[in-house]
Amino acid sequence: MKSRILVSILSLFVIAVGAAAQTPSALEADPKGWKDIFPNASFKGWTRAVLPPTPALDPVTQWKIDRTHRILLCEGDRGHEWLWYNRGLANFILHVEWRFAKVEGAKGYNSGVIIRTATDSSVWHQAQMGAENDGFLFGGKFVNGQVQDLKFAPRPKENRIKPPGGWNTYEVGCEGPQITLWVNGAISSEYSTPDALKGYLGLEAEGFRIEFRNLKLKVLP
C-alpha cells in the first residue's frame, strides 16, 4: 500500500512539474497593445511573392479567406511562395495559430512563419512548421543565385507540434539580435545571430494545405 501511495505522489509531482513548465502565450499574459492583422477579402496590406525569387509567381492565387470561420487558407498547390505583411518591422511579437489539413499517407508536411525577411527573399528567417519535431528557427540568403544557410537552431528536445488536423500556436518574438519561438506552451527555439535586424513577416506556402487564424501583432519599442 505504501509503495502505491508513493507512486501516486510521484506521479502527481511529475504532472505538477510539467504543468509548471508551461508558460502562457504573450497574448494571454498581456492582451493589451496587439493589432489584428488578419487579411480582408481583398488582401489589402498583404503581398504574394515567390520564395525563392524564381521562378515567376503563378497568376492564380492559392490563398483564400473563409470569412465565416475567419480562417486564412493556403491550398498549397501553386508553388513555393509567401504572403507578406506590407510593413517593415524590427522588434515585435507575432501570434499565429495554424493547422495542416490531414492527408492519409502524406509525409513531409511543410510551411513556416517568415520573419525579418527581404521582400525579394535575398535574406530570410523562418520559424519552421511541420508535422513532427519541428518548431525551430533558421535563416538563409542568396549569394550569386545560390542559397547559403545562415544558421539552423537545434531541433527542440521535446516535440510540441500537434498532428495534422490539430491547431498549434506559434509566437515569434524579435527584439534586437534575438529571435525566440514559443510553441504550444513553451519556448522551443532561440536564435541569437540573425543576419538582419529588420524585415518583413509573412506566411509560407510549400505544397501542403494549411489554415491560419488569430493573426495578432504587437510592435515593441
CA 137 to CA 153: how far, in whole Å? 5
17 has pLDDT over 80? no
pLDDT bracket for residue 145 (50, 70, 90): low
The pLDDT score that the predictor gives to residue 21 is: 67
**pTM of the entire predicted model:** 0.87
Model confidence over 82-111: pLDDT tens digits?
A: 999 999 999 999 999 999 999 999 999 999
Mean pLDDT (whole number) for 46-54:
87
The pLDDT score that the predictor gives to residue 112 is: 97
Beta bridge partners of 203: 83, 113
Question: Where do the domains of the chain lie?
Answer: 24-219
Using CA atoms in the order 217, 48, 43, 178, what is the torsion angle rounded to 10 degrees?
0
Residue 109 has a CB neighbour count (10 Å cut-off) of: 23
The pLDDT score that the predictor gives to residue 140 is: 84
Q: Do residues 138 and 152 make contact, with C-beta atoms less than 8 angstroms apart?
A: yes
Output the DSSP codes for 140-158: EEEETTEEEEEEEPPPPSS
Beta bridge partners of 6: none
What's the whole-number average pLDDT of the chain? 88
Say which CATH topology domain 24-219 has. Jelly Rolls (2.60.120)
3 has pLDDT over 50? no
